[in-house]
Every structure is written in structure tokens, then in C-alpha cells.
Amino acid sequence: MSKNRIGICLIGAGRAGMIHAINFRKNVPGAHLVAIADPAREAREAASARLDVDICYSDYREAFENKDIDAFVVVVPTGLHRRIVTDCAEAGKHILCEKPMAMTEEECLDMIAVTEKNKVKLQIGFMRRFDAGFRRAKEIVDSGAIGDVVMVRSNTRGPSIPQPWMYDISKSNGPLAEVNSHDIDTLRWFTGSEFKTVYAVGGNYRSPDAKADWPDFYDNVIVSATFENGCQGIIDGAQGVRYAYDARTEVLGTTGCVYIGRLQEESVVTCTAEKQSGSYDLVKSWRQLFEPAYLLEDISFLNSIAGDTVPEVTGHDGLMAVKVVNAGNTSIREKRIVTL
């Protein structure tokens, strides 16, 4: 692009939205955070004050008239993604859309089609692909250092109790979407293949408030999968574990294994006379653990616009994760293996 800076508008000033906003406001070279859009007045005003951004919209569509805005970052509930992404694309704006991409495969396909028709970029927010540890592990795997990949196991366990809106699987797609989309994408990335079969088992162990009205809600899930190239996969997901934010991956090959992730917050271990065993602080939040990855993700998005290149994480990646989420939910509900 000929402009010196690429103008960004944030849609959704929540926790993840503010990570992106701070990056584009302060840390991404060539970016200009022009505006914030959020229907909640309190969120808009708080974000405006924190970011020193004067232009705010209660309706994101008002921002389409602002010629300084080239791209939108969409960080809203999943059920709203298709409509917002479609509107942005029809307005000729590039889009970074947080995961999960959408609720259904059909919605994902609509989003891909409209962005292709309007020749705008669509990047999906799988930020683990930009994490230094995950990228280094991918280099090791691709080098053949552990032989051929046999199995990939990935877990994400969040400390927080699920929000009540998540209890309705028909509206949230459950923890497989909200928590384990990253794990699904991680397995696709490291196996270099698509899921072939999925068998999932879920249960509600920590969310008693959901049991009466939402008996199908699960806060713990295990997924066993096979891939088109013969690889195997395991996903372990949980909400409300309280002890830490726990995101780890293993890639097992024919001649070795790569381990990714950590529970330890700092490289400091405390040993005292009162406590005979060593101890260390645990990672408390995904925001803390993956902050650098979010920045690299945002830089990559801007570079794809400036250089007119294909985003590193595409709509197809988002589509395939949603496909696996829905297959997993079907497997849980019908107690059977689902072939994709």
C-alpha cells in the first residue's frame, strides 16, 4: 500500500480486544489505531481513555465511512463473526478475526467467499502459531530431528469458571470451541494433515450451576483423533481448573519427541526451611503466557496487508477448526466416532 500507516479499527473492547488494540496503538510498526467500536458505552469510554483514541463508534458500520480505516480487528462473541466480517469485507476492509472463526462450516465458507470476492485479507487469530516456543518446535519437527510425526497431544486448561452464556452449547459451541480451538489448530499444524476421525467424551465436573438447565454442557473434554496421513492426535481440555493456565503440547515422532509449553511463570524456584520442596509461581492467564505471540500475530497481519501477501493463518484454517469442533460436539452428543 502507498500509505505510510495502515489504519485499524477495533471491534470489541474486551480482554482480548484490548491486547490487539494496545499492540496496534503502540507496538506494531506502520499501524495507526484510528477508532474503537463497541456497543457498550462503558467499554468504549474505558478503552478510549486507556488508549488515547478519540474516535469511538457504538455501531461498527459507522466506521466504514472513515477513510483513514483500512482494516478491522474483530473480537466479539463467535455468533456475531459472520455478519461483522461480511459487512467489513463488503466495505472493502481487511479483517483479523479472533477464533473461533464462526459457529458453523457454512458461516466460515460465507466469510471466505465474501473476502475473496472483495479481494481483502482475512486472518484468523490462532496466535500460538506465532509463539516463539511453538515456532521453534515446528522448525525442529520440519527438520526431521524426531523422525516422522506419529502423534500430537495438546491440552488447554483454563483456571476460570465458565461464563453463564457458555452453558448453551448451541450458542457457544462449548469448550471445544472456546478453549480447544487452539489445540485443534495445533494438531493440524504439526501433523501437516486434516482430521479424519474424531471421538470425544465430555463431562461437567466443576460447573454445578449449569446442570439443571444445561445438562449437555461439559467443562472437561477428551478428544481422540486420526488424520488423513495416518497420524494420531489427543486433545485434553478443561475449564475452571483454578490451579493455573495450562497450555502444553507434545509432538511424538518415530525417533524422538518435542515438548512445548510451561506451567512455570518465572525461572525462579523458592526453597526454604519451612517448605522442604521447591516451589515456583504458575502461569495465571493466557494473556500473560501468549502476550508476545499476540504482538507477532498483529505484525504479521499488518505485513500481509502492506505486502499484499496471503495471511499466515487463513480462513481455511479457521474453517477446519470449526469443522472439528462440530464433529467433536456431535461425538459427545451421540456417543460415537465421527468421520469428517
Contact 106, 112 (CB under 8 A): no
At 282 the pLDDT is: 81
Give yes or no for residue 6 having a pLDDT over 90: yes
Asked which of 30-44, 104-118, 220-234, 257-271 is least confident by mean pLDDT, the reply is 257-271
Mean per-residue pLDDT, 30-46: 97
Indicate the fold that domain 129-290+320-339 takes in CATH.
Dihydrodipicolinate Reductase; domain 2 (3.30.360)
Give pLDDT tens digits for 165-202.
999 999 999 999 999 999 999 999 999 999 999 999 99
Give yes or no for residue 141 having a pLDDT over 90: yes
Query: 178: closest CA among 195, 160, 204, 192?
Result: 160
Give pLDDT tens digits for 84-103.
999 999 999 999 999 999 99
**Distance separating alpha carbons of residues 253 and 126, to the nearest angstrom:** 24
Query: 249: closest CA among 191, 295, 210, 200?
Result: 191
The percentage of the chain sitting over the pLDDT mark of 90, rounded to a whole number, equals 89
Enumerate residues 6+ apart whose C-beta is below 8 A from 172: 78, 165, 166, 178
**Distance separating alpha carbons of residues 104 and 96, to the nearest angstrom:** 18
pTM: 0.94
165 vs 316, which has greater pLDDT?
316
At 287 the pLDDT is: 75
Span 6-127+293-314 CATH architecture:
3-Layer(aba) Sandwich (3.40)
Distance between first and last Cα of the chain: 40
* Domain spans of the chain, in order of start: 6-127+293-314, 129-290+320-339
Query: 57: closest CA among 37, 34, 41?
Result: 37
**Distance separating alpha carbons of residues 284 and 262, to the nearest angstrom:** 12
Asked which of 26-30, 57-61, 255-259, 287-291 is least confident by mean pLDDT, the reply is 287-291
Mean per-residue pLDDT, 41-63: 96
Give yes or no for residue 2 having a pLDDT over 60: no
Give pLDDT tens digits for 263-296.
877 766 666 666 556 666 788 887 778 899 999 9
Strand arrangement, sheet containing 232-238: 257-260, 246-253, 149-157, 232-238, 220-227, 195-203, 338-339
Give yes or no for residue 1 having a pLDDT over 80: no
At 277 the pLDDT is: 63
The percentage of the chain sitting over the pLDDT mark of 70, rounded to a whole number, equals 95
Residue 200 parent element (H or E): strand 195-203
Give pLDDT tens digits for 220-251.
999 999 999 999 999 999 999 999 999 999 99
Give pLDDT tens digits for 70-80.
999 999 999 99
* Residue 306 grid coordinates: 502492506
Give pLDDT tens digits for 292-308.
999 999 999 999 999 99
Contact 178, 166 (CB under 8 A): yes
Give yes or no for residue 82 having a pLDDT over 70: yes
12 falls in which pLDDT band (50, 70, 90)?
very high
At 227 the pLDDT is: 98
Residue 245 CA: distances (Å) to CA of 122, 153, 233, 242, 265: 29, 17, 21, 8, 10
Average pLDDT for the chain: 94
